[in-house]
Chains A and B, each alone.
Chain A
Amino acid sequence: MTTPLLNLDKVSKLYKRGGLLGREEFRAVEEVTFHIDDNDQQVFTIIGESGSGKTTLARMILNMVRPTTGTIFFKGQDLASIRSGRARLKFMSEVQPIFQNPFEAFNPLKRVDRYLYMTAKSFTGARSSAELEAAADQALNKVGLSIGEVRGRFPHELSGGQLQRVAIARALIPGPSLIVADEPVSMVDASLRMSIVNLFRTLRDELKVSIIYITHDLATAYYISDRIIIMRKGEVVESGPARIVLENPQHEYSRLLKSAVLSPDPHGHGVLTGDSAASQQARASPHLQVSSSEPQVS
């Protein structure tokens, strides 16, 4: 058995809140275990609502946050052992992020192509400005853009969809084996969304990159995922192959999620009121307090 690309072993993250008196513990992530194989490129989706811990999990995989307990192995190496600048750089050449808000992911006061050149300089052998531009152009072509479209532009001059594609291009420059995308299309307009989601397919099939796709949108998850885990309040409640889990969810929470997804067929408005009663009942059951992790008054 070859070393898996990514291996999480009982990973937990605990946050302590409060001062000296009355410290509260907040379990953001609770004993998450899964792995992604190396020779099997896939889109691995993490589905969860707000407060489910999915973003914390993403940050731990990106080595931006240290787990409280448990270990994360990337290609066999424990992330906690990455200390030196060089080791960090090596890790980043293999694992790259895509963030939710493309307008926040770039400094609004700086030009966008700058990040492409920086990444090329740090991770490839390119040195002269011509080489840097070529590297940037090559990456941009993979996402359906060209250097001419983004040269000298500020973030607000591009649309959300274009910016997100530039972010993906930037992430591709070091030639990573894993891309962690945290809600990459939730802030992109509907008409541009599918071009990015389709891009993930291309990344997986042609560029052989595995993608961890984090989202709350079951429809796009169904569209491109290979495997899925569903998280709720820090725990994994269900996992398995994407089509199977989404077509026939087993766990109560998964079923609730699926029933809450709106269908784009406008059969009429009775659909909503009927389900409202069902999910109100479901809310009354103590197991299924599924709203955000803030305390509820009710």
Chain B
Amino acid sequence: MTQSSASSVRDSSHVLETHDLRAYYRMKYFGIDREVRAVDGISMHVRKNEIYGIAGESSCGKTTFIKAIAAAIRPPLEIVAGHVNYSFIKNDLYALPAAERSAIRWRHLSYILQGSMNVLNPVRRIHKTFQDFAFRHMRLGRPEFDQAVKHHLERLRLPAEILRAYPHELSGGMRQRVCIALATLCKPEFIIADEPTTALDVVVQKDVLAMIRETQSEFGSSMIFVTHDLTVHANVTDRLGIMYAGKLVEEGRTVDVFANPMHPYTAHLIASLPKIGDTQPRSALSGSPPNLADPPKGCRFHPRCPVAMEICRHENPALTTLADDHRVACFAASTKVQPSNDGMQGEAKTLEVAR
């Protein structure tokens, strides 16, 4: 595994690696002392030219995780331990001085957010927004920059007239497409998409998702796609990671996870997806997601788990490779499958049992 001198990732085929990342909210005021373990030891990687999906319900920590990898941390959120390494930075992300960190934004690392109005300035025309975001990164003269923007929009099949419009003059779907164009203009290596289609109507959602996939394959960026909607993951992502209570409980190729979900939580999520043409009753999981300030001892899922064993109450299962490119953190699943011994495919190996 060669290591390029200007890159901090251990495997050159990876764009992002996190190693035991922990990010907690620490709140200490007016006499309250609370630590919410939103991201509690996540080690994963994203390869070049792939879309990695993160699924999980609310308060599982996925939003905090993205904040952590984008260096968008503000108190009371703190990085408590772990590393975030990108292929385009030579050090750990947090070892970088702040000025360099903001220099990588947009040029190497961009994002597509849930509400397009969180990104687009309502009082600036679209072409000005493009200037605001990307001009200094492209290092072109003004006329060349405008040409590049027009050319980019053409490539994405967006009409050039939108440049002169204000955001409120466009429909929600069109705005989100503009955000995608904005995020891909500098051809970054890594794009973070946080629920980009959740607020959109069904018809528009399909088009926007198609655009995201086309754009990703055209420019070859890697992407982390966060949404709670598993049907979207099924149709868009290459690999899928399921988060629960601040930890990664299952991860693998999307087809594999859907065909053979090994963690009981994943299995339940997939089984409970309704489909047109199917009125078979679906069961629901009892209980609700744990409080991250006071998670259950042992495996965090055990109070709701249909196959919980004695060991699950005391020990936290580690994320183990149980099949080809398929990791699971579950004692029940591990006892069914022998962990693969030959999995030297640049994967993170069995981590220590966390306590």
A residues contacting B by CB (< 8 A) are 49-50, 158-162, 189-195, 197-198, 201, 216-220, 222-223, 243, 246-247, 256-258, 260-266, 269, 271-273, 275-276, 279-280, 290-292, 294-298
Contacts and interface: CB of A to CB of B under 8 A. Distances in A.
Given A49-B203, A264-B275, 12 more contacts: A190-B273, A218-B276, A219-B276, A222-B278, A223-B274, A247-B277, A262-B206, A266-B254, A269-B235, A273-B214, A276-B210, A290-B203
Contacts of A50: 172, 201
Nearest to A157: B291
B207 A276 contact: yes
Nearest to B164: A297
Interface string B125-167: 0000000000000000000000000000000000101100100
B302 to A, nearest CB: 16
A192 B275 contact: no
Contacts of B345: none
Contacts of A190: 57, 228-230, 269, 272-273
A273 B217 CA distance: 12
B182 to A, nearest CB: 16
A291 B282 contact: no
A264 B258 contact: yes
Contacts of B273: 190, 219, 264
B171 A291 contact: yes
A54 to B, nearest CB: 12
Interface in B281-316: 281-285, 288-289
A247 B277 CA distance: 7
B288 to A, nearest CB: 4
Contacts of B201: 49-50, 216, 290-292
Contacts of A161: 288
Contacts of A201: 281
B202 A257 contact: yes
A263 B234 CA distance: 8
A222 B285 contact: no
The majority secondary structure among interface residues of chain A is helix
A75 to B, nearest CB: 30
Nearest to A266: B234
B132 to A, nearest CB: 20
Contacts of A272: 206, 209-210, 213, 235-236
11 contacts: A50-B201, A190-B57, A191-B272, A194-B284, A197-B274, A223-B279, A263-B235, A275-B210, A279-B207, A292-B173, A296-B174
Contacts of A295: 169, 171
B206 A264 contact: no
B260 interface: no
B206 A279 contact: yes
Nearest to B206: A260
Interface in B7-39: none
A244 to B, nearest CB: 12
Contact of B284 (A192, A264, A280, A290): A192
A144 to B, nearest CB: 9
Contacts of A194: 272, 274, 282-284
